Amino acid sequence: MRGLEGKVAIVTAASSGIGKGIAKVLSSEGCIVHISSRDRAKLEKSAEEIRKETGKQVNAVPCDLTRPADVTRMLSEVKKKSGKVDFLVINFGDPKVAPFLEITDEDWDSSMNMFLKSSVTMIRSILPEMISNGDGRVVFVTSLTTKQALENFSISASLRAAVVSLSKVLSIEYAKNGITFNSISQGYIMTPRLESIARRNAEKMNISLDQAYDAIRQGIPARRFGKPEEIGHLVSFLCSSDASYINGANIQIDGGVVRFPL
Ligand SMILES: NC(=O)c1ccc[n+]([C@@H]2O[C@H](COP(=O)([O-])OP(=O)(O)OC[C@H]3O[C@@H](n4cnc5c(N)ncnc54)[C@H](OP(=O)(O)O)[C@@H]3O)[C@@H](O)[C@H]2O)c1
């Protein structure tokens, strides 16, 4: 155990995949976890599943990160329920993946709301209390697109890079207050989203789903996909006091996909 018992965490975009894996690990470490995403039914089901598995308090708070009013409402609901937030884990939904000229102003606006505006609103709301507690952790969950440019990923690459830079600046501003800001750049993690990408590839290339998975796996030195809980373990470490000197870092967790040494 990492000494996280009784700490209060928010994990966004957490009804499935990576966010849910993070929530599960934090809950198993004894945190009171508030999970959010758009679909209330899916969210409640995931909260119930985690509660059953860990026996801890897991609260479902619906919130669409592209809607600023939702973010404000989610924060006030969490504060009303728990009174404080020790760990803010900012995970995101999927941005549109398309050639640059097929991306509309509306796509950019809603993505800027999801990545930047929601991050700013959440941090601004929670930071003053972290400062007065002299403690707090903020972890952004981004993507390997922050490290490696991919065709058609202009929204993901540019806005996640913005979030990583925001994390870095805040880590410098608030280190003296005992608060750390770090970001994670994950590679291929086995989630419903990865399955839908593999299905799309299979259809496009007229191959089986297994062959489509194999084609992705070939590019991963570890020759396997990551598990959502593996991201969860990294997050719980970053939230623990063992990681109090890790600040402003962007940590790759990708089975060796990104080849650049620095
Ligand atoms: N899996 C990978 O290999 C991989 C690799 C690199 C980066 N990523 C990124 O990691 C993040 C999570 O991906 P995942 O693989 O875990 O996907 P996933 O299994 O499809 O889960 C996505 C989660 O985001 C929520 N969500 C989607 N849009 C949202 C919005 N506007 N506001 C709030 N919540 C929203 C979804 O719930 P609702 O439908 O209920 O809203 C769901 O809980 C994404 O940003 C993805 O691009 C994933």
C-alpha of residue 134 to centroid of ligand 1, in Å:
31
* Ligand 1 atom at shortest distance from the alpha carbon of 92: 45
Q: What domains are defined for the chain? A: 8-189+226-253 (3.40.50.720)
**Closest approach atom of ligand 1 to CA 144:** 6
Q: Which of 18, 25, 84, 80 is nearest to 56 (CA)?
A: 25
* 90 vs 28: CA distance, rounded Å: 19
Pocket test for ligand 1, best of 20, 97, 193 (most atoms within 8 A of CB): 193
Ligand 1 centroid – CA 12 distance (Å): 9
| Alpha carbons 96 and 257: distance in angstroms, whole number | 22
Site to probe by mutation for ligand 1, drawn from 191, 197, 230, 231 as the one with most ligand atoms within 8 Å of Cβ, is 191
The model's pTM is: 0.98
| For the CA of 188, the nearest atom of ligand 1 | 3
Render each residue's pLDDT in the chain as its tens digit; 262 residues: 889 999 999 999 999 999 999 999 999 999 999 999 999 999 999 999 999 999 999 999 999 999 999 999 999 999 999 999 999 999 999 999 999 999 999 999 999 999 999 999 999 999 999 999 999 999 999 999 999 999 999 999 999 999 999 999 999 999 999 999 999 999 999 999 999 999 999 999 999 999 999 999 999 999 999 999 999 999 999 999 999 999 999 999 999 999 998 8
Distance CA(102)–CA(168), nearest Å, equals 31
